[in-house]
A and B are shown apart, each in its own frame.
Chain A
Amino acid sequence: MKTDPGGAANESGNVKNPTGVLEHEIRTCPACGTKFSATGAAGLCPVCMLRGVAAGASASSKAPDTASALERGFEQRDPISVSRRFENYELMVDERGTPIQLGRGAMGITYKAFDVDLRCPVTLKVINERYVGEESARRRFLREARSAASLHHTNVASVFHLGRSGPDYFYVMEFVEGETLGKLDQTFRPA
């Protein structure tokens, strides 16, 4: 379903194949990590669209200003809005002040952080902002942390701390300098 580069673009920028059928490409949402199918330049992550509903609804039940609450539901997608401090761990930021993301999946986001007590870099994984406050996601995240902590191997980053940030969990792993496996795979993949 990748976009055909040879296809003809229509007025809205969508690409059609020679048979006139709109081509789709699979994209990964930078906000929630979900893979979704999109047409042309426009892209609506279906999970974010649905989560925007859930976030807006839960916010509106607490605040009388429904409009601004709904807006906050969308604003939760802003990756910069994440809390910077998790117990004794501080998220490290780039030159623009944005937390340095090491990875992002459907369930969680990993950041480069700094252990202010031991004074060393660590990897900190938090639950994706789209799932904050969700009980089933919290349970899955906890299960993932426990499974990861049970693994001990020289090629697997060790989990050494599980903590709570409000109602939600985060866990901390050793920080390994280098590239991701995916990037290495791309670099050394035969042409």
Chain B
Amino acid sequence: MSSRIFKRSARAFRAPRIASQRIVNLDQSSREGGVDRFRTTRWDIVLLSAQSQAVGYKEALAELYNLYWYPLYAFVRRRGHSPEDAQDLTQGFFLDLLEHKAFTRVDQQNGKFRSFLLASLRHYLANETRSALSLKRGAHIEFVYLDMQNIQNAENRYGREEPIEALTPEKIFDARWAMALLGEARKRLSLEYSAEGRAATFEALIDFLDPLNSKKLPSYDQVADQLNVSVAAVKTLIHRLRKQYTELVREEISRTVSNASDVDAETHELCEALIAAEGRILP
């Protein structure tokens, strides 16, 4: 395992977030309902920047890639590579993305980040050799996105996910992608409430996002007592929570597609992958 690279990565892990704001405006922030939305990097803007070699696109790509690297890692593992090789290949793939001309092949009008990454990864795996990998390890590395803890967590998670022999690796990749996307939306929702000093409200209401699947759903009265508000206010808070979550999920999907009109199609594709996975992908 290339521990030298990974040690550096722990330090470099968050650096791109700061740099991208300063160098090039690749982010879209919004202020809705008095709430400052956390900045989000959109794939279509990254793509345009990459194709024009704009300064800062690498950092922005790193930020997006960071959210969705686990599905790629698991895809490589499923292709039969050892954990160590999968780590190197996933990392090497990202470096290859930064250095290579893969972006010039992407159709700006019909590009999805998910499809782009998977196609590029398959291309990379087909061409990659151990010697090339070794060279890559020794090369000057400007951006590193993995750290040891992330890798260990990924391997633990991969080991606990049940095999899905009946599904293609691509379908499993899509299901993992969907879970990563929903996880990011939930994390952002939690961060937004915390930033407003309303973490307790979030915790009290989170089960109401999907009341049918909550085993211990509290009553409105209980939540009203807990938050010291009226029952009517609880209903309003739940409504707002759902609305915010829905918007965040949609925002997460829209940042990975080039056209707003692709969001629904992307949503349906991800749903089909999740249904096919039958719960064997961990949240």
Known: A13-B216, A37-B281. A57 touches B263 (CB 8 A): yes
Q: Residue A49 contacts which of B209, B214, B280 (CB distance < 8 angstroms)?
A: B209
CB pair A71–B279 under 8 Å, yes or no, is: no
Q: Residue B283 contacts which of A24, A53, A106 (CB distance < 8 angstroms)?
A: A24
In the assembled complex, the Cα of A37 lies from the Cα of B268 at a distance in Å of 19
Chain A, residue nearest B203 (CB): A12
Q: Residue B182 contacts which of A31, A39, A49 (CB distance < 8 angstroms)?
A: A49
CB pair A71–B242 under 8 Å, yes or no, is: yes
CB pair B249–A49 under 8 Å, yes or no, is: yes
A1 lies within 8 A of chain B by Cβ:
yes
CB pair A56–B246 under 8 Å, yes or no, is: yes
Known: A24-B283, A26-B278, A46-B274. A53 touches B246 (CB 8 A): yes
Give the residues in chain A near B283, CB-CB below 8 Å: 24, 36-39, 44, 46
CB contacts under 8 Å to A, within B84-104, are none
CB pair A27–B271 under 8 Å, yes or no, is: no
CB pair A53–B210 under 8 Å, yes or no, is: no
Known: A34-B275, A71-B243. A43 touches B214 (CB 8 A): yes
Q: Within the complex, what minimum Cβ distance (angstroms) separates B181 from chain A?
A: 8
Give the residues in chain B near A47, CB-CB below 8 Å: 271, 274-275
CB pair B210–A45 under 8 Å, yes or no, is: yes
Q: Within the complex, what minimum Cβ distance (angstroms) separates A178 from chain B?
A: 27
Known: A70-B242, A106-B275. A43 touches B267 (CB 8 A): no
In the assembled complex, the Cα of A136 lies from the Cα of B272 at a distance in Å of 11
Q: Within the complex, what minimum Cβ distance (angstroms) separates A2 from chain B?
A: 11
CB pair B209–A30 under 8 Å, yes or no, is: no
Chain A, residue nearest B213 (CB): A43
In the assembled complex, the Cα of A24 lies from the Cα of B160 at a distance in Å of 9
Known: A57-B263, A58-B264. A36 touches B279 (CB 8 A): yes
A118 lies within 8 A of chain B by Cβ:
no
In the assembled complex, the Cα of A52 lies from the Cα of B245 at a distance in Å of 10
In the assembled complex, the Cα of A10 lies from the Cα of B250 at a distance in Å of 32
CB pair A67–B162 under 8 Å, yes or no, is: no
CB pair B274–A34 under 8 Å, yes or no, is: yes
Known: A44-B182, A70-B242. A37 touches B210 (CB 8 A): no
Residue picked from B186, B214, B271, most chain A C-beta under 10 Å: B271
Interface SS of chain B: helix, strand, loop or mixed? Answer: helix
**Which bucket holds chain A's interface residue count?**
35 or more
CB pair A29–B213 under 8 Å, yes or no, is: yes
B270 lies within 8 A of chain A by Cβ:
yes
1/0 per residue, CB under 8 A from A, across B246-283: the answer is 11011001000000000110011011001100111111
B123 lies within 8 A of chain A by Cβ:
no
Give the residues in chain A near B242, CB-CB below 8 Å: 52, 70-71, 74
Residue picked from B179, B264, B270, B275, most chain A C-beta under 10 Å: B275
CB pair B179–A52 under 8 Å, yes or no, is: no
Give the residues in chain B near A41, CB-CB below 8 Å: 207, 214-216
Chain B, residue nearest A48 (CB): B210
In the assembled complex, the Cα of A71 lies from the Cα of B240 at a distance in Å of 9
Chain A, residue nearest B248 (CB): A53
Give the residues in chain B near A48, CB-CB below 8 Å: 210, 212-213
CB pair A57–B250 under 8 Å, yes or no, is: yes
In the assembled complex, the Cα of A125 lies from the Cα of B125 at a distance in Å of 45
1/0 per residue, CB under 8 A from B, across A20-36: the answer is 01001011011100111
B198 lies within 8 A of chain A by Cβ:
no
A54 lies within 8 A of chain B by Cβ:
yes
Q: Residue B264 contacts which of A43, A57, A74 (CB distance < 8 angstroms)?
A: A57
Q: Within the complex, what minimum Cβ distance (angstroms) separates A69 from chain B?
A: 10
Name 30 A/B residue pairs within 8 A (Cβ), A-sorted. A1-B282, A26-B278, A26-B280, A34-B279, A37-B282, A38-B283, A41-B214, A42-B207, A42-B215, A43-B213, A44-B186, A45-B212, A46-B178, A46-B182, A46-B274, A46-B283, A49-B182, A50-B249, A50-B271, A51-B267, A51-B271, A52-B249, A53-B246, A53-B249, A54-B267, A56-B246, A56-B250, A70-B246, A71-B239, A106-B275
Q: Which 6 A-B pairs have the closest CB atoms?
A: A43-B213, A35-B279, A26-B279, A41-B215, A35-B278, A41-B216
A31-B213, A49-B245, A49-B249 known; 19 other A-B pairs, CB under 8 Å? Answer: A13-B216, A27-B213, A29-B212, A34-B275, A40-B215, A41-B207, A41-B215, A43-B215, A46-B179, A47-B271, A47-B275, A50-B178, A50-B267, A51-B267, A51-B271, A53-B246, A57-B250, A73-B246, A106-B275
